[in-house]
Structure 1
Amino acid sequence: MFRAGKGARLLVALTAAMLALAGCGSDEDQASGDNTGPRDFKLWHYEGPTSAMGVAWNAAIEEFKRSHPNVTVKFEEKGFEQIQKTAQMVLNSNDAPDLMEYNKGNATAGLLSKQGLLTDMSEEVTKRGWDKLLSPSLQTTCKYDERGIMGDGKWFGVPNYAEYVLVFYNKDMFAQHGIQVPTSFDQFVAALDRFKQAGVTPLAVGGAEYPAHQIMYQLALTKADRGWVDRYQRYTGDVDFHDSAWSYGANTLAEWVQKGYIDKASTSSKAEDMGISFISGKAPIMISGTWWFGRLQTEIKNFQWGSFLWPSKMSAGSSGNIWVVPTGSKNKDLAYDFINITMQQQNQALLGNSGGVPIAADPNAVTDPATKTLISDFNTLSKQDGLAFYPDWPAPGYYDVLVSATQKLINGSASPDQVLDEIAKPYQENRANLGG
C-alpha cells in the first residue's frame, strides 16, 4: 500500500482544511446550519409579543439561537402599515432584512415578486417538504406568476398559520336579550335587529381602516361562489361591480347603517377603536379576523365571549401573512432554517395554544377549548372551499380605495352605485395594465 511521506501528508491536510473552509460558504452547508463563522441574522415581523404569532415566533427565535450558536439574531418589530408603505424602498436598499413577514396577495407580495425584490423559494420549499404541509387553498397565496398574480408560478412566500374573518360575540349580552347563536344569515340579521330594537347598536365597526370594507365583502360573498372569487382575485374572467353580489354587499351595508346596526360615527373609527368597543363590552358583535383571538383571550375579563363562522359558505380568509426572503438577503440559508422551525409541530402547537390557527399542528397537541373551536371552524371553511381571500388584494393601492369608498357609504356621502363605480375604476385600470 502506498504511504505518503510527512510532507505529502501535511500538504493533503492543508488542502483538506482549505476545502473545508470553502465548503462552509456553500449554500448547501449553510442551509443545513453547518457553519462556524459568526454571522448576523436580520429578522422583521409586525406581530405583537402577546399575539399568538408573536409568542410562537419568539420561541422560534430562542430555538434558532440554540441551534445556531454562532449567529446573532437581530430582530426588529415593525408596524403593519410601516412595512406596507416602505417595503419597496427598503428592499431596494442595503437595509433589507434576511427574512421578513409580509402581506400576501397581488397588491403586496405579488407586486414585489414581479419587481424582482423577493427570492424564488420553490426549490427550498420542495426540499424541506413545506409544500406537503399546505393545502392547495393555502398554497394560493404563496405562488405568483410573472405578472404578480397569485395562485400559479413560483413560490415567493411560505405561511405557518392561517386566518379568516368570523363573528365574535358577547355571550352575556346575547343571553341578556334572549338571542341564540345564529346558524343562518337570516337569523344573523334577526339578531342584529333584536339588539337595535332593545336600544343597542349591535356591530362594532372600524370605518377608517380595513374592518368596514371587509364587512361589505362578507355581504357580497353571501351571493358569490368560487368562480366569482377567482374572477375578482385572480383575473380569471370579467368582473362586473354591479352584479348581484357586489350590489348586495354595498346596498346591504348602507341599509345596515340606516337601520342603526352600524353607527354612522364609525366612519372615523380605526380597527383599534372597534376592538376596544368589543373588549370593553359596549358592542355585542364584532365581525373581524382571527388575528384578534389571542388578544381577546388576554384582555376580556368581565364577560363571556365566543365566536362562530360567518353564516355563509364563503368568508374572507387565507393563509396567514407569509415569510418572504428578500432578494438582497445576505443569509438566505438562515432564513430557510428559521422558517423551518416555525413549521415544526412543537412551534405549531404553541401557536395554536396561544390563540392562532396553525397549519401543521397535531390537533391533540392543542388543548385550549376555544382555540379548538377556532381551528375546527377554519377546517370546516377550508374543506368547503370557502376561503375567499381579502378584498384589497387584487390591485396595488386598492386598500386605500376601499377604505375611502366604504367611508362614503357609511356617512352617506355616496350612493351604493357611486361607491361601486369608485372601486371599479382602479381595479379595471390595473387589470388593463396587466394585459388581462
Structure 2
Amino acid sequence: MNRKFLALALASTALFTSTAYAEDVTLTIESWRNDDLALWQEKIIPAFEASHPGIKLKFTPSAPTEYNAALNSKLDAGSAGDLITCRPFDASLALYDAGHLTDLSDMEAMGNFSDVAKAAWQSDDGSASFCVPMASVIHGFIYNKDAFAEVGVEVPTTEAEFFAALDKFKEDGTYIPMAMGTNDQWEAATMGYQNIGPNYWKGETGRQALLLGVQKLTDEPWVAPYRTLARWGEYLGDGYEAQTYPDSQNIFTLGRAAIYPAGSWEISGFNTQADFEMGAFKPPVQNKGDTCYISDHTDIGIGMNAKTAHPEAARAFLTWVASPEFAEIFGNALPGFFPLSKTPVELEDPLAKEFVSWRGECESTIRSTYQILSRGTPNLENETWGASVAAIKGTESPEDLGKKLQEGLASWYEPQQ
C-alpha cells in the first residue's frame, strides 16, 4: 500500500469515527400501554427531542397481558430497551431485586415527588427508588348531572346524604340509582371497598398500621366499609349479580343510571360515549367536617435498565419525566391519569379537574392491599374481591369477612401473627 493511499485510508477512518461519535443516541422505551402509542409519537417524543438535541426516543410497547413475560425474556437475553415502564409495587420490585433496574435515589428530580408517590417503586425499607413516578388514578363517584337536576338531588358529601340521594332515585324510578355489578368481582373491591374505605381507616395511617401489624382486618376501621357496602345491593338494579364491568359502563353512559362508582381512568371513554354532562364527587365522609381521604393510586412509573449502554442519556430523559413540562403533556393527553409531581398541573378536562382538586382537600393514600400484603397465599387483593362481593350480596356478615381475611393474612404475613 503506497503512502498516499494509506493517508487517505486513515483520513477516511478518522472521518467515519468522528461521524459515528456525533450521531444521536437512541433510547428505546419498553411499555405495556400500547394504547398510548400516538400520544408518545405525536406529543411526548417531539417535546423531549426538541429540548434534548442528540437524544432520540423509540417507544416500543407490548400488549398489556404479554408485557411482564415479554419484558422478563428480553431482560434475561440482554435485549431489553434502555427505559422500562414500571407497574406499581411487587412486579417492579422483583425487577429491581433481580438487578434489572437502577437505583435512582441520587437523582435530584426525585425530590419532585411525595413519599406516597414514590412508595410504589421503592424497596421495602424505602432506601432505593428505582422508577420515576408518572401518574396515578383517583377513586370517587361519577354522576349524571341531568339525572340529579331532573330528580332534584343534591350532590352528597356525607354518607347520610349519599344514601338519601340513592333512596330518592330509587323512589323516583326513572334511573337505576347506581351502576355496578358483582360478576367480575374486582370492581366491587376497587370501586367499592377501596373507594370508600380510606375514610374509615384514615388513609395512610391505617394502611401503615396494617403493614406493621398494629391494626388487624378484624378491627372496626377495616370491617365498617363492608357494613356500608352491604347497603349498596338494593340500589344497583335488578340482576346486578350477573352484571359485568362493561355492562355497568354501558348502563351509565347510556343514561340509565344516576351514579357510577368510579376510577378516574373512565374519564376518556365516558367523555366519548355519554351524551349528558357528568360531574364527580369524592367518597362521602361519615360526618360533616371530617377529614376526607381519597385513594390516589400510583399506577405507572418509568425506570432505567441497569444494562443500558446510555445511562447519561437515560437519566436525562428520566429527569425530564419528573418535570412540569412532561406532567402537563401527559395529564392533558390522558385525562384521568394524574401526574404525581408536586408541581400543580393545569388540566383542561373539567371532570379530570374535579377529581384532581380533591388532592388539595383530602389526604391521599393508595389501595390497602397493593404493597407487600398480596405477596403470599392467600393473596389479600384477590380475597378482598370476593369479600366485597359477599358484603354487597349479603351472603356473609362484615364481621365474618374481616375474620376470614385476617386469618388468611396472618397465615403467611409475620407482622400479623
Name the TM-score, length of structure 2 as normaliser.
0.78
**Which of 340, 347, 368 pairs up with 2:319?**
340
What one-letter code is carried by the residue in structure 1 that aligns with 2:278? W
Q: Does 1:275 align with 2:259?
A: no
User: 1:305 pairs with 262, 278, 285, which one?
Assistant: 278
Aligned residue runs from structure 1 range 233-312, under 5 A: 235-257=211-233, 259-261=234-236, 265-266=240-241, 269-270=244-245, 272-300=246-274, 302-312=275-285
Which of 110, 115, 118 does residue 130 from structure 1 map onto? Answer: 110
**8 Å Cα contact 1:65-1:73 kept in structure 2:** no
1:169 CA drift (Å) = 0.7
Given candidates 372, 396, 399, the residue that maps to 2:353 is 372
> Is this contact kept in 2: 1:218–1:249, CA < 8 A?
no
1:62 aligns with 2:46: yes
Q: Is the CA contact (8 Å cut-off) linking 1:220 and 1:247 kept in structure 2?
A: no
Aligned counterpart, 1:193: 167
Letter matched to residue 224 of structure 1: W
Aligned positions of 1:25-40 closer than 5 A: 36=23, 39=26
Deviation, structure 1 residue 431: 2.2
After TM superposition, the structure 1 = structure 2 runs for residues 77-116 of structure 1, keeping only pairs within 5 Å, are: 77-79=62-64, 81-83=65-67, 91-94=75-78, 96-105=80-89, 107-116=90-99
Q: Structure 1 residues 336, 364: CA separation in 2 closer, same or farther (over 3 Å shift)?
A: closer
Distance in structure 2 (CA, Å) of the matches to 1:193 and 1:399: 31
Q: Does 1:204 align with 2:204?
A: no
Cα distance in 1 for partners of 2:383, 2:100 equals: 25
- Out of 14, 31, 39, which is 1:44 matched to? 31
CA distance in 1 between counterparts of 2:199 and 2:40 reads 34
Residue identity over aligned pairs, in percent, reads 19
CA–CA distance in 2 between the matches of 1:47 and 1:424?
38
Counterpart check, 1:218 vs 2:202? no
1:357 aligns with 2:335: no
Q: Give the C-alpha shift of residue 268 in structure 1.
A: 5.5
How big is the shift at 1:180?
A: 0.7
Structure 1: state its 5+ residue gaps: 1-9, 25-34, 147-151
2: CA distance, partners of 1:165 / 1:241: 22
What residue is the counterpart of 1:4 in the other structure? none
SS in 2 for 1:104: coil
- Which among 386, 397, 417 is matched to residue 404 of structure 1? 386
**AA in 2 matched with 1:420:** G
1:153 aligns with 2:137: no
Give secondary structure in 2 for the equivalent of 1:324.
strand
Residues 308 and 377, structure 1, Cα contact 8 Å, conserved in 2: no
Per-residue deviation, residues 282-336 of structure 1 (Å, max 9, x unmatched): 2221222222223323332x21101122223112224442113344555544443
With over 3 angstroms needed to count, the CA separation of the structure-2 counterparts of 1:297 and 1:173, relative to structure 1, is same
Q: Call closer, same or farther: CA 1:38–1:159 in 2, change over 3 Å.
A: closer
- State how far apart, in whole Å, the 1-side matches of 2:142 and 2:121 are: 28
For the aligned residue pairs, the C-alpha RMSD in angstroms reads: 3.7
Output the CA distance in 1 between the equivalents of 2:309 and 2:250: 41
* C-alpha displacement of 1:218: 3.2
Superposed displacement of residue 408, structure 1: 3.8
8 Å CA contact 1:348, 1:361 repeated in 2: no
Give the letter aligned to residue 235 of structure 2.
G
Equivalent position amino acid for 2:200 in 1: K
Deviations 1:247-276 (A, max 9, x none): 21222212321x234665346523x44333
1:155 Cα deviation after fit? 0.6
* Pairing 1:141–2:123 present: no
The residue aligned with 1:120 is 103
Q: Does the aligned pair in 1 maintain the 2:27–2:82 contact within 8 Å?
A: no
Does the C-alpha gap of structure 1 residues 87 and 246 become closer, same or farther in structure 2, counting only changes over 3 Å? farther
Deviations 1:199-231 (A, max 9, x none): 343222253153210212333333222421212
Instruction: Tell me how many residue pairs correspond in the alignment.
Output: 388
TM, length-normalised to structure 1:
0.75
> How many angstroms apart in 1 are the aligned matches of 2:63 and 2:150?
41
Unaligned runs of 5+ in 2: 1-6, 286-291
How far is 1:65 from its partner? 5.1
Does the CA-based 8 Å contact 2:181-2:240 persist in structure 1?
no
* Partner amino acid, structure 2, of 1:231: A
Does structure 2 retain, via aligned residues, the 8 Å contact 1:44–1:97?
no
Of 300, 314, 334, 2:293 maps to: 314
Distance 1:379 1:174 in 2: 26
Task: Compute the displacement of 1:360 (Å).
Answer: 4.4
The C-alpha deviation readout for 1:353-395, integer Å capped at 9, x for no partner, is 33242344875854444443333222322xxx33244434432
- What do the CA deviations read for 1:116-140 (whole angstroms, capped 9, x no partner)? 44321112x22xx232x21333233
Q: Is the 8 A contact 1:165 1:317 kept in 2?
A: yes
Question: C-alpha separation between the residues in 2 aligned to 1:345 and 1:268?
Answer: 41
Query: Which residue in the other structure is 2:288 paired with?
Result: none
Question: In the alignment, what sits opposite 1:182?
Answer: 156
Name the counterpart of 2:4: none
Q: Is the 8 A contact 2:179 2:249 kept in 1?
A: yes
Query: For residues 311 and 56 of structure 1, what CA distance do their matches in structure 2 show?
Result: 37
